[in-house]
């Protein structure tokens, strides 16, 4: 019998950790709800004469909380949600707000990461000659470049090539080729790593590279502990010589489960090659298993100096647990090989620890500066007022705004929420399409044949406000035509949504969507 690979043998060990999810934010919500129910029932049954006093106290409490929300710095849509929750269930709502604001389980994380980011914001200097050449092309791009450089040390690069992959299968094939070429180090940072053929083949190469002396580091998000990987997986990888860390492991009753997740997908090889996009290391992303029909996803491979920004993002996250910084060791170099003849590249990240909503601002800047078209692929459409206004305004001034969404959703509640925006967007001229073969997981903006963003950032509250994200902004790079071509090919497999479709939508979906919209910023 043929000997099993290291990847397959390793993935057969251990049991998945699911118990921690019970004791996360969901557990807290249920606990507070039960407490408030008990209090209200108790007051009604045993202290009926005190109900008027409770009503006065409760009303006063609600007024105080509303005054607080009016004056606190918070997204306007989130404020409205908290107001509704607190007015309906004052004790539960206030406790949940306090719990969220306290960031239990994440204070140390926030402190360490903020300190690291602050100390490394000037690690990669902007080449002034690059900005001068960009200014001759587009002053608007210089402005967004300055913003990204200020927000997180993400300079504009030349001498960087970008290859676009229109499917997980394409990316996976090239990824294996590039991994086998590694000589010095391989860094992986993924939201999801799951058992199967994709991760098994990658793991096999990683184990071989460790034997060759390559420094291999793997980081994945703590939510993988809930149902995907054994809780002792880092120790299992360590036996192969692979350094592994879990970002923000889930802590019973002290994890704001949905906040501060590492939603990034980054793979770096030897400082000259990087991958990012929507594709995680799991078999549904390469259509080896069928979860929601055909899985449509995208990614990019970056070659050249622009890889430095991905190295910086990875090391900032990795070094939260290191006492000795390693940044200069990995960033003090310059690639002389010419990877591109034209165009500019800006890899960038977004973090939920500051007031800069980088992902949303980049998307809105593209919408506001577009003159011909903005074509979008996104799995979710859960918009705040600012983003919805930007989409509508672009369409109303004559820009061709098209959005491709899944035809088969992975989350029915998210699909219902997306549909609550359809009528308003269609009325302004935004064109909406659903991918009939299955699920669209791609996160793509392409505009006017000169701009494109491919990354991990969805059009929902999670990505725009609560997750660690990353993307690649491209201006006049050669692959932009490939991105637009892929959009149009995908469009041919979609059903266009009309006002009549919205009118005939099932009443159940309409009701669920409208109810969930009240609490959408909390989901």
The DSSP-derived string for 136-176 is: HH-HHHHHHHHHHHHHHS---BSSEEEEEESSHHHHHHHHH
Average pLDDT over residues 423-427: 98
- Write down the pLDDT at residue 260: 82
Is the fold of 161-346 the same as that of 358-522? yes
CA dist 423 and 322 (Å) reads 50
Rg of the chain (C-alpha set) = 24
- Write down the pLDDT at residue 112: 83
- Write down the pLDDT at residue 453: 98
Class of domain 358-522: alpha beta
User: Between vectors from CA 382 to CA 379 and to CA 384, what angle results, nearest 5°?
Assistant: 140
HEC profile for 414-434? HHHHHHCCHHHHHHCCCEEEE
Is the pLDDT at 13 greater than 60? The verdict is: no
Average predicted confidence (pLDDT) for the chain: 86
pLDDT-derived band of residue 258, with 50, 70 and 90 as boundaries? low
Contacts 24+ apart (CB under 8 A), 511-517: 512/413, 512/416, 513/416, 513/417, 513/418, 513/419, 513/420, 514/420, 516/413, 516/416, 516/417, 517/417, 517/420
For residues 268 and 186, the answer to whether their CB atoms sit within 8 Å is yes
Is the pLDDT at 10 greater than 70? The verdict is: no
Q: Which fold has domain 161-346?
A: Endonuclease; Chain A (3.30.870)
For residues 484 and 343, the answer to whether their CB atoms sit within 8 Å is no
**Beta strands 243-247; 344-350: pairing state:** unpaired
Q: Token digits for 94?
A: 């206030």
Helix (H, G, I), strand (E, B) or coil at 74: coil
- Write down the pLDDT at residue 325: 67
Average pLDDT over residues 265-292: 97
* DSSP letter string, 114-131: HHHHHHTTTSS---HHHH
Is the pLDDT at 28 greater than 60? The verdict is: no
pLDDT-derived band of residue 164, with 50, 70 and 90 as boundaries? very high
**Residue where the block lists tokens 């602050």:** 118
For residues 145 and 362, the answer to whether their CB atoms sit within 8 Å is no
Q: Token digits for 512?
A: 């669920």
Closest CA to 79 of 392, 414, 386: 386
| Domain layout of the chain by residue ranges | 19-102, 161-346, 358-522
pLDDT-derived band of residue 35, with 50, 70 and 90 as boundaries? low
Model pTM above 0.75? yes
Provide CB contacts within 8 A for 64, sequence distance 6+.
none
Is the pLDDT at 296 greater than 90? The verdict is: yes
pLDDT in tens, 105-114: 567 777 888 8
Q: Token digits for 482?
A: 């490939």
Closest CA to 374 of 390, 356, 359, 386: 390
pLDDT in tens, 83-93: 777 777 776 77
CA dist 274 and 175 (Å) reads 10
CA dist 76 and 70 (Å) reads 9
Average pLDDT over residues 235-243: 95
Question: Which of the residue ranges 180-189, 347-356, 396-405 would you say has the lowest mean pLDDT?
Answer: 347-356
CA dist 286 and 275 (Å) reads 15
- Write down the pLDDT at residue 33: 57
């Amino acid at each position: 019998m043929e000997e099993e690979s290291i990847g397959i043998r390793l993935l057969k060990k251990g049991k998945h950790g699911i118990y921690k999810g019970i004791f996360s934010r969901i557990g807290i919500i249920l606990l507070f709800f039960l407490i408030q129910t008990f209090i209200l029932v108790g007051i009604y049954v045993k202290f009926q004469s005190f109900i008027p006093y409770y009503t006065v106290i409760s009303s006063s409490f609600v007024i105080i909380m509303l005054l607080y929300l009016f004056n606190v710095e918070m997204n306007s849509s989130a404020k409205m949600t908290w107001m509704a929750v607190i007015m309906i269930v004052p004790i539960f709502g206030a406790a949940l707000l306090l719990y969220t604001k306290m960031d239990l389980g994440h204070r140390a994380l926030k402190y360490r990461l903020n300190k690291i980011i602050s100390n490394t914001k000037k690690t990669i200097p902007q080449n002034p000659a690059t900005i001068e050449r960009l200014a001759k092309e587009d002053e608007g791009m210089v402005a967004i470049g300055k913003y990204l450089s200020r927000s997180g040390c993400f300079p504009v690069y030349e001498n960087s090539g970008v290859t676009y992959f229109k499917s997980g299968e394409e990316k996976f094939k090239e990824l294996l080729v590039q991994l086998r070429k590694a000589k010095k180090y391989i860094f992986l940072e993924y939201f999801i790593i799951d058992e199967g053929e994709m991760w098994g083949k990658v793991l096999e190469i990683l184990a071989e590279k460790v034997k060759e002396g390559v420094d291999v580091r793997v980081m994945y998000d703590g939510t993988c502990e809930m149902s995907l990987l054994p809780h002792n997986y880092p120790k299992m990888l360590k036996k192969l010589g692979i350094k592994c860390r879990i970002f923000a492991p889930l802590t019973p009753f002290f994890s704001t489960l949905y906040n501060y997740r590492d939603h990034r997908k980054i793979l770096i090889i030897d400082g000259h090659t990087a991958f990012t996009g929507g594709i995680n290391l799991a078999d549904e992303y390469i259509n080896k298993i069928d979860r929601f029909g055909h899985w449509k996803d995208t990614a990019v491979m970056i070659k050249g100096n622009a890889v430095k920004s991905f190295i910086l993002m990875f090391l900032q996250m990795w070094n939260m647990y290191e006492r000795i910084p390693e940044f200069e060791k990995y960033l003090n170099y310059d690639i002389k090989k010419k990877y591109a003849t034209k165009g500019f590249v800006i890899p960038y990240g977004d973090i939920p620890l500051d007031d800069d909503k980088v992902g949303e601002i980049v998307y809105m800047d593209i919408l506001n500066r577009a003159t011909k078209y903005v074509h979008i692929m996104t799995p979710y459409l859960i918009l705040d007022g600012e983003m919805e206004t930007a989409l509508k305004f672009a369409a109303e001034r004559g820009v061709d705004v098209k959005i491709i969404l899944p035809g088969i959703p992975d989350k029915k509640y998210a699909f219902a929420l997306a549909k609550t925006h359809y009528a308003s967007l269609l009325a302004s001229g935004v064109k909406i399409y659903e991918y009939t073969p299955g699920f669209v997981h791609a996160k793509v903006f392409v505009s006017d044949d000169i701009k494109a963003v491919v990354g991990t950032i969805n059009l929902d509250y999670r990505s725009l406000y609560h997750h660690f994200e990353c993307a690649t902004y491209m201006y006049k790079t050669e692959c932009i035509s490939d991105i637009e071509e892929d959009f149009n090919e995908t469009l041919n497999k979609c059903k266009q949504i009309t006002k009549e479709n919205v009118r005939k939508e099932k009443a159940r979906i309409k009701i669920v969507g409208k109810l969930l919209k009240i609490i959408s910023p909390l989901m």
